[in-house]
Amino acid sequence: MEINILNTHKLYCEMMSIPDKDRSAFFNEKILEPFAPMFEKTMMPRNPEAMFCFPLTGADDVAKGMLNQLMAMNVWTEARYVIENSMNDLQKVGIKMPEKMNFSTAKKFAKDLVTLL
């Protein structure tokens, strides 16, 4: 099974370095597109508010503070650890998993997993 955890820190930092007018397209392509199957299955809107993120423009200081907190908590490494262990446990009890799964952070893991099951 392939588990893909987006490094949202890197992506958001990259997004904050581009002009405000280009951020929506960047967000859609780099952050939302990997989750297209989830959006289709749940009929959830593809926008920042649906993903529980900060505004794409006008809040760079807030965004940088949030990203720094995530980095300090080592959230991407912890997310991978939690996801891999959970997948192994689910497979041990006979729950079939998809070949490929995308996640953004550990906080989103439970919601994304429930959607896929």
Band (22; pLDDT cuts 50, 70, 90): very high
> Are 7 and 106 a contacting pair, CB within 8 Å?
no
What's residue 108's pLDDT? 45
Other CB atoms closer than 10 Å to residue 109's CB: what's the count? 18
Q: 50 or 105: whose pLDDT is higher?
A: 50
pTM: 0.58
- In the chain, where the domains are located: 2-116
64/50: higher pLDDT:
64
DSSP conformation letters of 85-101: HHHHHHHHTT----SEE
